[in-house]
Amino acid sequence: MDYEDRIKLADGGRKLWLKLKSEYGINDSDYVIVVPEDDPVINELTLKYVDEFMNKRNIKRVFIMSRDTTRTVPVVSHITLTEEELNSIVQLYELYEFAANVIFASLDVPSGRLGRGLLVKDNIELEDVFKSVVYGLQ
């Protein structure tokens, strides 16, 4: 993807983000967890540790943005997005970290995240890396 395409995609992400903030009443004290990939293990870990993450940071509201609508947990609100919409949010974040309260439930996204590289060192488990890289737990 060339630079102009990235800018266009990010612009779409900005418009979408502003629309979602307004529609769902997302404010600076809420957290948004973007699940950019359809990895069932990562999706499961996202849900498994969201309560612990909320308790540690004293968070009252969390929104999960993903394509997966089959599983959720009662303490969070789920926003279903298309793959293109998720990609536009990721692209916006890669060009400009637009909000401190947005995190990505991925070891590889946004671009430059090296979480998966930790798995080859010292027999570290995926679950431990995920908790540390995504939620800052442990």
Is 36 inside any structural domain? yes
What are the Cα distances from residue 90, in Å, to 56, 58, 68?
25, 26, 17
For residue 34, the model assigns a pLDDT of 94
| Residue 35 maps to a domain | yes
Number of folded domains in the chain? 1
E-strand stretches of 67-127 = 76-80, 102-104
Whole-model pTM? 0.88
Cα–Cα–Cα angle for 131, 58, 102, rounded to 5 degrees: 60
Could you report the per-residue pLDDT of 86-135, keeping only the tens digit for each? Answer: 999 999 999 989 999 999 988 777 765 555 555 566 667 778 878 887 89
In whole angstroms, give the CA distance from residue 85 to residue 13. Answer: 7
Residue 131 CB coordination number (10 Å) = 18
Give the domain range for residue 71.
Answer: 3-133
Q: In this structure, which long-range contacts are made by residues 41-44, counting pairs with CB atoms below 8 Å and at least 24 apart in sequence?
A: 41/126, 42/105, 42/106, 42/107, 42/130, 43/68, 43/71, 43/105, 44/71
Residue 27: strand, helix, or coil: coil
Is residue 138, in this structure, part of any structural domain at all? Answer: no
For residues 79-89, give the mean pLDDT. Answer: 95
Nearest CA among 15, 19, 36, 47 for reference residue 102: 36
Question: pLDDT tens across 12-52, in order?
Answer: 999 999 999 999 999 999 999 999 988 888 888 999 999 99
Give the number of residues written for the chain. Answer: 138
Q: How many CA atoms lie within 13 A of 74 on its CB side?
A: 0
